[in-house]
Structure 1
């Protein structure tokens, strides 16, 4: 049955503040799905990757959805999250890498020097992204290098498996690392909005309701 706009609005209101957090979690899954796709095929979905990388340069967005340029841009991630929460997503590798990023986020935010370095690095890259687009090879290469110099030094590292043919190509590796940094951006945002791993256990139904409300 199709819900009316008022019913969707009511669902969002009753889901507060979880409905805000699921957007960040959807952004995380959306970025990691691109990590998996690039590692396996050597190619990303250009539009989805642009949303993910673009989120790295929205430092002071007004809302969680604004980080991704609007709620419609994170719809692929919301669909992934809905399937996961409903038990329909069988991609165990995606769930494992998501957990790795969430765990690494704790180490990352505790390292003030590293978080400052990442922010400053992104600010220096932003003019190129504004001029050439967030998925331009030079932009992805710069973000990938920033990831390699910062988050890649933390342990345990996020392990990405895929096709060795593609993972041996510098441009593909840069794209994977850039998408991983976008995933970390969403993980930090999710935690800032009050997210916790316990939500996935104790708030599963409410999270699913919030996702469904967003999807309409």
Structure 2
């Protein structure tokens, strides 16, 4: 169950950060780094290793899970955000399409290896690497269909730097969705085991200092 919590928390963090960039044009380097680094972890020792081996790195995602899947109003006291849920479900659906196309998976692996080589010359959160991740998403994931419609401030979304960040984040979301499936996560888990997921997330949060 912890592995499912970690991967779903990562999906929640992606959805949240996509909203932050699309609405405010903002994302902290530390948050971006955690998610982009997950794309590079193609042979991890375990699930948590994809996110730096530290539960603190998915703590925010666990809190988001509780807010959005739980029965209580979220911290702001407002209604649950349907856009947030749409991003998560869309990523899970896209990942399902990806797994049915071995050639696309092979291309994805090759492009990620190319991005790893760039790490020797550029910072992970540099414009160059972010643009590389964005192009991987555009070239391989977008053509799968069911494009994710990102909404936000039009003036912010027009900026190419924000477009690249959003696509790079969505690629990190695909990584999380791959892991979610690999550890037994299913769409029906979200629908029919919400209370179990929320309680487990609360329990796991208490173990994080």
Question: 1:125 Cα shift?
Answer: 0.7
Question: 1:196 Cα shift?
Answer: 0.7
Matched, 1:141 2:157: no
Corresponding residue for residue 190 of structure 2: 200
Q: In structure 2, the residue corresponding to 1:162 is in which secondary structure?
A: coil
Question: 1:45 Cα shift?
Answer: 2.1
CA spacing shift, 1:82–1:129, aligned 2, 3 Å: farther
Q: Distance in 1 between matches of 2:159 and 2:64?
A: 28
The match for 1:37 among 4, 8, 20 is 20
Corresponding residue for residue 14 of structure 1: none
Corresponding residue for residue 6 of structure 1: none
Report the count of equivalent residues: 199
**Superposition CA RMSD, Å:** 1.3
Question: 1:205 Cα shift?
Answer: 2.3
Stretches of structure 2 that go unaligned for 5 or more consecutive residues are: 75-79
Question: 1:85 Cα shift?
Answer: 2.1
Corresponding residue for residue 109 of structure 1: 99
8 Å contact from structure 1 (residues 167, 173) kept in 2:
yes
CA spacing shift, 1:26–1:130, aligned 2, 3 Å: farther
Matched, 1:48 2:38: no
Question: 1:131 Cα shift?
Answer: 4.5
The match for 2:170 among 164, 169, 180 is 180
Matched, 1:74 2:58: yes
CA spacing shift, 1:210–1:169, aligned 2, 3 Å: same
Question: 1:212 Cα shift?
Answer: 1.4
Q: Distance in 2 between matches of 1:43 and 1:135?
A: 13
Question: 1:62 Cα shift?
Answer: 1.4
Of the structure 1 ranges 42-51 and 181-190, higher mean CA displacement relative to structure 2 is found in 42-51
Stretches of structure 1 that go unaligned for 5 or more consecutive residues are: 1-17
Corresponding residue for residue 10 of structure 1: none
Question: 1:159 Cα shift?
Answer: 0.9
Corresponding residue for residue 15 of structure 1: none
